[in-house]
Amino acid sequence: MDITKRLEALAAMPRNWRVTTHYADGATHHHDTHTAPQAENFAIGERRKIGRDLISRETGETVRVVSVTIGKI
């Protein structure tokens, strides 16, 4: 199997897991993944941000990450 077919097959797989990041101002962002281990790996990076002040890409304002959740879609 060549790489193009492999990437197309991966892209066609359903995304069944969602990592949701909750901010102090009430905003949320989500990231959908194919498998539970992928979701957990993404959530590890997001959890490192809990309690930190970040700059919002949308508004440029300072936002604080409150929690990160993983759930099946």
Q: What is the pLDDT of residue 1?
A: 63
Q: Distance (Å, rounded) from C-alpha 16 to C-alpha 6?
A: 19
Each residue's pLDDT tens digit, 36-67:
999 999 999 999 999 999 998 888 999 999 99
**Average pLDDT in the 64-71 region?**
97
Q: How far apart are the first and last CA of the chain?
A: 30
Q: Does 3 reside within a domain? A: no
Q: Does 6 reside within a domain? A: no
Q: Does 32 reside within a domain? A: yes
Label each residue of 11-33 as H, E or C.
HHCCCCEEEEEEECCCCEEEEEE
Model pTM score: 0.82
Range of the domain at 30: 15-72
A 10 A CB-CB count for 28 gives 11
- Domains contained in the chain, number: 1
